[in-house]
Structure 1
């Protein structure tokens, strides 16, 4: 029996009501009438989790997917139109945000265009408000609203659905100021933008830095359902979620979306993005496996110290002692007679200025007059470091002020060849070794980099051969226990 046009329309309505994915495939023809739609299981996964939000099974959702995965189109354009029309929820109020307001406005405009389209209005005649019909904000006759705002400027808006789409750009991913502004907006502003306890927050983004919003959610232990789809499958990171979804891949390196990103294209992306971009934007893991600028396999280890030409202490100071701030670090380094950098001892904690002074003085006294006998102390010359320099100088300790006039990433690249050549030796039995290696592996995208800064200072000093009179070799202990005293 041949179905009538009314029957076909009813079937289409029902298919779209049941499935956001089916609605999205039909909406694509309205939004992109020329471009071919390429669909894959990853897009189904995004749709399934958004459906769970609609059904009330999820109120906090974090989705990490690579760029080019239709995340903005599905979440900020198609999903609101689906709830208003096929799901019969025109009263829903949406706030769409992004790191730039123009991007949020783009999605709001496209959502409005979809709802106004002949196809949509034929199937779901949602009446739009004549008084509220702009690119930045539009509404319907049932008091539903779709608003667009910059992520850091959400004052005055509230929603039943708050969508946070890429809260920080790739260009600003290593800016501490931008990361901190995003963190404050997420923790202090965003939670107040929801209408009720039943309202939902959806964060969809690519990973760019360990301190990005995904990192904040993870570190704070916030109750977000986490959908994570890396470009290449990593069995150890296989994702499963509370709605019963799991990554369908089984082979390591298997691609997420071969219909859209084939092997050749992914290899080109990996080459173009480099290790950091690949780890974050493609693999959703902003610390590259094995390290980024610094590969942990490059380090060598000592259990018996080599003969040393000289030793020096290097100090990295922190501005504050709050939980979110870096640590203060004291490191004793030596230069071997073969030109290697040897890390001998370290102390690390979150000290205020008076505590830093006490510990720096004690660290100097611990080693001065021993077989190590450091020739001077290099101190970062800024903020609390400046006061430390002045006080210790008055006490007769030889101090080398170290200006930090170059960014840490450049300094890391300068130090990397020396480390890669096997010229940095670490104490094999130090209790802090695992933390040191974890920080090195994640640099410069880790939450902390305080142990890296004095290492870079030490390497720079060690590579500059000192005057002969300052480079007198002397015997050293033949056991490693100094590193833990």
Structure 2
């Protein structure tokens, strides 16, 4: 009799334990329906001794990766400071897609500038997949015949292959994950950086299994004004750019759009507001600034790389305003690209910059900038003049030689009826820009608020070491034209 009682008690205890485990598993599965919930649940498996600190920025990164999984984003670029869990986030993302999302068929090609780093993360992914907790919830066996740290396959036809950035030829995937393609030690080397950019353009963009549905995700810190992030955006193939400076800059507030709709907006409102105070409080930021120096901090932490040298213009010199005072005189100066756009090339830009002058202040009012063909240049030149009106002087450059003179004459004829002046540029670009630099430093230059502000400041404040200087030329010419036509002369503004 006692034996039967004990057996029944054991049966009930076993049933209670089974129900508890079932309920616990259901709770975990429900929590893991989101990528953020999955990371919180499985964090101790990969980082048992580190506390997980989950701020809004990480939630935003998870939101964008989820949009990739949902097919809403195909090309995603995330530029974020060091310490933002970049590498682990991509590890968890793949495990989440294979497990909770029910997509063990997804094939992943992961890369980084460092082979040890990308192999390290592939091993972490395998450790996570093979953990007892993961296997209990989402049984997924790894194939014995392909289970190395560099590449392992699962029985659902998916795999994760880790390759160094320099050896991408031959591999393909449904997900190409690029984690810091540049090294901080070599990003300033034109040769090393150029090689990395070439590999990205020639060896990454065609590594997709399906050009319509497979995705590329790049996550990195900015290290140079012509790094992979800059080139990815210049290619204009549809990268959604999530950009997080450590300290908030209202002029560069990040907004992302999906299918034409606002998808995310940086929630910060105050200039200098920190990105991740839970992990990087103000005291730590000040320490980083002292340790890194302004150049490294600007690129790695503010995602605003600038040359180590240069400095004719400083961002703080340009106040942004909403309007120009009444009674201003105006000029639009043009700088025409010398080369036509070609596939795989990044030629100069054609720029038309409109400036106003009132009460001793120069206002950059509008910037038209594009890589137009010669025919489109003429159409846009005339259309812009029509929009500006007859009261605005138009300044165009005349390149040396007969061809330059003929081209300028053609444009003057095209602009018949408008106030047009042709000037042949002389001297070095930096010399011609000195009056504009002096006025900006004196606080006499304003920018009228517009979508072009960020691109303009990036180029001007990197001059003379940036890749392009077309906006600088137009800026300098417009200011010089207005200065000569006012009480200023080039002698007293230089």
- Give the TM bin, normalised by the shorter chain: 0.5 to 0.7
Distance of 1:448 and 1:176 partners within structure 2: 16
Task: Tell me how far 1:127 sits from its aligned partner.
Answer: 0.6
1:27 aligns with 2:42: yes
Counterpart of 1:91 (choices 105, 112, 121) is 105
Alpha-carbon distance in 1 for matches of 2:254, 2:470? 32
**Could you say what secondary structure the match of 2:176 adopts?**
strand
What does 1:245-394 align with in structure 2 at a 5 Å threshold?
245-287=264-306, 294=311, 296=313, 324=346
What secondary structure does 1:267 align onto? Answer: helix
**Alpha-carbon offset, residue 175 of structure 1:** 1.1
Contact 1:287 1:443 in 2 (8 A): no
Rounded Cα–Cα distance in structure 1 between residues aligned with 2:44 and 2:457: 51
Cα drift, residue 33 of structure 1: 0.8
Taking structure 1 as reference, are residues 22 and 112 closer, same or farther at Cα in structure 2, changes over 3 Å only?
A: same
CA distance in 2, matches of 1:252, 1:276: 20
Q: Secondary structure at the match of 2:38?
A: helix
Counterpart residue number, 1:447: 467
Give the Å deviation of 1:221: 2.1
Structure 1: how far apart are the matches of 2:98 and 2:247? 35
1:439 offset after TM fit, Å? 5.3
Give a deviation string over 1:224-243, Cα, whole Å, max 9, x none.
11111111111111112125
2:170 to 156, 170, 175: 156
Q: TM-score if structure 2 supplies the norm length?
A: 0.62
State the partner residue of 1:216.
Answer: 231
1:167 is aligned to 181
Contact 2:105 2:158 (8 Å CA) reproduced: yes
Residues 129-162 of structure 1 show CA distances to partners (whole Å, capped at 9, x for unaligned) of 1111111111101111100111121111100000
Q: How large is the RMSD of aligned CA atoms in angstroms?
A: 4.1
Distance 1:481 1:159, change over 3 A: same
Residue 468 (structure 1) aligns with: none
1:64 aligns with 2:79: yes
The 1:133/1:167 distance shift into structure 2, 3 A limit, reads same
Does residue 46 (structure 1) correspond to residue 61 (structure 2)? The answer is yes
Alpha-carbon contact 2:81-2:245 (below 8 Å) kept: yes
| Alignment partners' CA distance in 2, 1:169 and 1:447 | 20
Hey, what's the Cα distance between the residues in 2 that align with 1:206 and 1:37? Answer: 21
What corresponds to 2:420 in structure 1?
none
Over 3 Å counting, the alpha-carbon distance change for 1:139 and 1:298 in structure 2 is closer
Unaligned runs of 5+ in 2: 1-15, 318-340, 350-398, 406-426, 431-437, 446-452, 473-486
- Match for residue 4 of structure 1? 20
Pair 1:299–1:70, CA change in 2 (3 A): closer
Shift of 1:357: 10
Structure-to-structure mapping, 1:177-196, within 5 angstroms: 177-196=191-210
CA–CA distance in structure 2, aligned partners of residues 268 and 109 of structure 1: 33
Aligned position for 1:14: 30
Distance across 1 between alignment mates of 2:200 and 2:461: 27
**Displacement after TM superposition at 1:123 (Å):** 1.2
Q: What do residues 64-122 of structure 1 show as CA deviations (whole Å, max 9, x unaligned)?
A: 111100011001x1111111111110000000011122211111111011111111111
Match of 2:213 among 198, 205, 227: 198
Residues 111 and 165 in structure 2, CA contact (< 8 A), matched pair in contact too: yes
Sort the Cα spacing of 1:73 and 1:445 in 2 relative to 1 into closer, same or farther, 3 A: farther
SS of structure 2 residue aligned to 1:5: helix
Q: 1:81 aligns with which of 95, 104, 108?
A: 95
Match of 1:415 in 2: none
CA distance 1:436–1:51, shift in 2 (3 Å): closer
* Whole-Å separation in 1 of the counterparts to 2:62 and 2:457: 39
Give the CA deviation at 1:449.
Answer: 8.2
Greater displacement, 143-152 / 239-248: 239-248
Unaligned runs of 5+ in 1: 301-320, 328-355, 363-376, 379-411, 413-421, 453-477
Partner of 1:373: none
Shift of 1:218: 2.1
Say whether the 8 Å CA contact 1:292–1:443 is kept in structure 2: no
SS at 2:277 equivalent? coil
1:263-283 CA-partner distances (Å, limit 9, x unpaired):
100111112111121111111
1:127 maps to which residue? 141
TM-score, normalising length from structure 1? 0.64
Distance in 2 (CA, whole Å) between partners of 1:444 and 1:31 is 46
